């Protein structure tokens, strides 16, 4: 074998450089594929399973604080029925929210917000939705207030541990009412009862304070941010057990 049949040092260096370049291209290609798949999966999960919303007001205090980020299960009510006590996110039934002022955003900031919303780290449309607790289901009679200031469902008074009232206030709602929830609707109220634009305060509107079930985006199941507020959201089944028994 002659020396001419062996690769030169320069050939070996060039070959190694090509191998490294090819490996780098393959790595970047695989990284791009992983990123695209991750974004696609996140988008599908957000669209059909869960999504995030932030809390813009204090109407659900002390359960939810302003700027808390919540995870919403979109399978309810589409595949699973809404239950009394569920904290739900819904679109404005009409007139519950004030008109949104026109805003202009930096294109870069808008792009970043959109990208974060895809993976559930931002919720740009939160101001167009409301978050309340379901008190009455279709067919329920909901009234307030009894001699003890309690809210009643189907004649059963509720002892509501999640309700926030002003100091010295005993009544569980700022407006008295006695209604029967129509078919396909819900009666919802904020936990911060005297500072919540909920069903009780919107009875003067065409919808009479009821929220169509079709307007419900999903059930809030978890506070995801900030970490110090992390917790699962209960629907307090014991609070409403008497209401179900009395309806039977």
**39, 130: one domain:** no
**34, 56: one domain:** no
Range of the domain at 19: 8-43
**24, 142: one domain:** no
**34, 81: one domain:** no
CATH number at residue 150: 2.10.109.10
**12, 128: one domain:** no
Round the average pLDDT of the chain to a whole number and report it.
83
Tally of CB atoms within 10 A around 188:
27
pLDDT at 158 over 70: yes
Query: In a 3-state reduction of DSSP, which class is residue 220?
Result: strand
- DSSP code, position 12: H
**Structurally, how many domains does the chain consist of?**
2
pLDDT at 152 over 90: yes
- Residue 1 in any domain: the answer is no
pLDDT at 1: 46
Name beta bridge partners: 188.
134
Q: What is the mean pLDDT of residues 34-53?
A: 63
Which has the closest alpha carbon to 164: 172, 175, 174? 172
CB 151 within 8 A of CB 173: yes
- Residue 2 in any domain: the answer is no
**39, 56: one domain:** no
**106, 22: one domain:** no
As a residue count, the chain comes to: 248
Residues with active-site annotation: 59, 132
Stretch among 13-22, 66-75, 134-143, 232-241 having the lowest mean pLDDT: 13-22
Q: Report the half-sphere exposure of 122 (CA within 13 A, side-chain side).
A: 12
**25, 127: one domain:** no
d(CA 240, CA 132): 16
**24, 90: one domain:** no
Decide: residue 42, CB within 10 A, 0-12 exposed, 13-18 middle, 19+ buried: middle
């Amino acid at each position: 074998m002659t020396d001419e049949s062996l690769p030169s040092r320069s050939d070996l260096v060039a070959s190694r450089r090509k191998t490294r370049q090819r490996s780098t291209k393959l790595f970047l290609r695989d990284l791009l594929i992983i990123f695209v798949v991750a974004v696609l999966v996140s988008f599908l999960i957000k669209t059909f399973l869960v999504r995030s919303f932030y809390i813009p007001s204090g109407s659900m205090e002390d359960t939810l604080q302003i700027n808390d980020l919540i995870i919403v299960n979109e399978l309810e009510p589409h595949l699973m029925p809404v239950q009394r006590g569920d904290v739900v996110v819904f679109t404005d039934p009409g007139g519950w929210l004030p008109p949104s002022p026109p805003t202009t955003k930096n294109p870069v900031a808008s792009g970043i917000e959109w990208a974060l919303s895809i993976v559930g780290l931002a919720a740009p449309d939160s101001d167009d939705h409301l978050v309340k607790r379901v008190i009455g289901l279709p067919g329920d009679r909901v009234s307030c207030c009894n001699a003890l200031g309690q809210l009643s469902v189907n004649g059963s008074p509720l002892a509501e541990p999640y309700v926030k009232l002003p100091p010295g206030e005993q009544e569980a709602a700022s407006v008295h009412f006695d209604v029967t929830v129509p078919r396909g609707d819900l009666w919802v109220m904020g936990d911060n009862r005297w500072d919540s634009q909920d069903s009780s305060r919107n009875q003067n509107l065409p919808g009479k304070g009821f929220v169509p079930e079709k307007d419900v985006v999903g059930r809030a199941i978890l506070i995801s941010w900030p970490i110090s507020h992390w917790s699962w959201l209960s629907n307090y089944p014991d609070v409403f057990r008497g209401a179900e028994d009395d309806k039977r």
